[in-house]
Structure 1
Amino acid sequence: MCSPIRCAKCGKTTWTGCGQHVNEVKAMVADSDWCTCNEN
């Protein structure tokens, strides 16, 4: 199961866990509060 955690780099919300439930975690967080540090 995945759960939300705070990114140490930007302070926004990201996830931890198996990776299969990321969409459920993202659904709980506003887009503007979601970490994008590792999307590049």
Structure 2
Amino acid sequence: MCSPAPCYTCRKTTWTGCGMHADMVMDSLRPEDRCTCGQVESEQPAPSVSAFGL
């Protein structure tokens, strides 16, 4: 089960736990209280990785 946890970078609230309930934790917070340090928006999709290096 996930639970709220403090972000030591921005001092807002993030989550800790298994990750399966992270959305539930974050949805319970006001948007201005949510940590966004781990959210990085990329302009390009991540490269695909193959087990064969292709």
TM-score (norm 2): 0.69
From the two aligned structures, give the one with the greater helix fraction.
1
% identical aligned pairs? 50
Residue of structure 2 in register with 1:19 after alignment: 19
For structure 1, the residue ranges without an aligned partner over 5 or more in a row are none
Aligned pair count?
Answer: 40
TM-score (norm 1): 0.90
* Counterpart Cα distance in 1 of 2:24 and 2:38: 18
From the two aligned structures, give the one with the greater strand fraction.
1
For structure 2, the residue ranges without an aligned partner over 5 or more in a row are 41-54
Runs of 4+ in 1 over 2 A off after TM superposition: none
RMSD, matched Cα: 0.7
Equivalence map 1:3-18=2 (5 Å):
3-18=3-18
Task: Compare relative contact order (CA 8 Å, sep 6+) and give the higher one, 1 or 2.
Answer: 1
* Counterpart Cα distance in 1 of 2:24 and 2:39: 18
